[in-house]
Amino acid sequence: MEIHKLLVVSDLDGTLIPISGVISQNNIDAVHRFLEAGGTFTAATGRSPSIAQPYFEQLSIKTPVIVNNGAAIYDPVEQKNLWWQELPNTFREVVKHIMEAFSEVVVSAVDGQDTHYEVLLHENEHRMSEQMRYTTFVPCMADDLPDACCKIVFMAEGELLDQLEQFVKQLSDDSFCFVRSGGICFEMMAKGISKGAAFKRLVSLCGKQTEYTVAVGDYYNDVEMIENAALGVTLKSGCDAAKRAAKLVVSSCEDDGVAELITMLLCGNMRFDDPKK
Q: pLDDT tens digit string along 181-240?
A: 877 899 999 999 999 999 999 999 999 999 999 999 999 999 999 999 999 999 999 999
- Could you give the 3-state DSSP secondary structure of residue 57? helix
Degrees to nearest 5, angle at CA 225 with 18 and 242? 60
Q: Answer whether 3-84+194-267 and 91-190 agree in fold.
A: no
The mean pLDDT value for 78-101 works out to: 96
The pLDDT score that the predictor gives to residue 8 is 98
For residue 277, what pLDDT band results from cuts at 50, 70 and 90?
very low
As assigned by CATH, the class of the 91-190 domain is alpha beta
The mean pLDDT value for 142-148 works out to: 96
Instruction: Kindly provide the residue ranges of all beta strands, DSSP E only, lying in 48-122, ordered along the sequence.
Output: 65-67, 72-75, 80-84, 106-111, 116-120
* Residue 267 CA: distances (Å) to CA of 205, 216, 229, 260, 272: 27, 18, 20, 11, 14
The mean pLDDT value for 152-174 works out to: 91
Kindly tell me if the per-residue pLDDT of 276 is higher than 70: no
- Could you give the 3-state DSSP secondary structure of residue 220? helix
What CATH number labels 3-84+194-267? 3.40.50.1000
- The residue ranges of every structural domain in the chain are 3-84+194-267, 91-190
% of the chain surpassing 70 pLDDT: 93
The pLDDT score that the predictor gives to residue 180 is 87
The pLDDT score that the predictor gives to residue 184 is 86
Instruction: Tell me the pLDDT of the chain averaged across its residues.
Output: 92
- Max CA distance (Å), the chain: 59
For the entire predicted model, the pTM comes to 0.92
Kindly tell me if the per-residue pLDDT of 257 is higher than 80: yes
Kindly tell me if the per-residue pLDDT of 144 is higher than 70: yes
- Which of 5-9, 69-73, 158-162 has the least mean pLDDT? 158-162
The mean pLDDT value for 132-152 works out to: 89
For residue 133, what pLDDT band results from cuts at 50, 70 and 90?
low
The pLDDT score that the predictor gives to residue 182 is 76
Tens of pLDDT, residue by residue over 90-132, are: 999 999 999 999 988 999 999 999 999 999 988 777 776 655 5
